[in-house]
Amino acid sequence: MSTAEILFEQAFNVPRDPRSDAYKAGVLDALRYCAGEIESLKSAMLYEMGTAEADAWFAGVIEGKLIWRDAQLEGAA
């Protein structure tokens, strides 16, 4: 399991408010990008701009980057 997948599992395998699949995809895509597993976030985004799914994905990307930052500060990634 990659570092991105481990951080994702740690974030979503705890009690928390439910999130959409698009949101979770954004989190995981951001973590994969930060870990160097994918070259760009732009190519990972599968949703049509202006849709609720795209908005959710972008919100997930923000959380994913925050998770990565926090892991870096804690020395976990």
pTM of the model: 0.94
Residue 52's pLDDT is what? 98
Q: Does residue 77 register a pLDDT over 80?
A: no
**Residue 21 is part of which domain span?**
3-74
Q: How far is CA 45 from CA 13, 32, 56, in A?
A: 23, 13, 11
Distance CA 54, CA 15 (A): 25
Instruction: Indicate the number of domains in the chain.
Output: 1
Q: Each residue of 20-56: pLDDT tens digit?
A: 999 999 999 999 999 999 999 999 999 999 999 999 9
Least confident of 17-26, 54-63, 68-77: 68-77
User: What residues contact residue 29 under an 8 Å CB cut-off, 6+ apart?
Assistant: 38, 41, 44, 45, 57, 60, 61, 64
* φ/ψ (deg, to 5) at 34: -60, -30
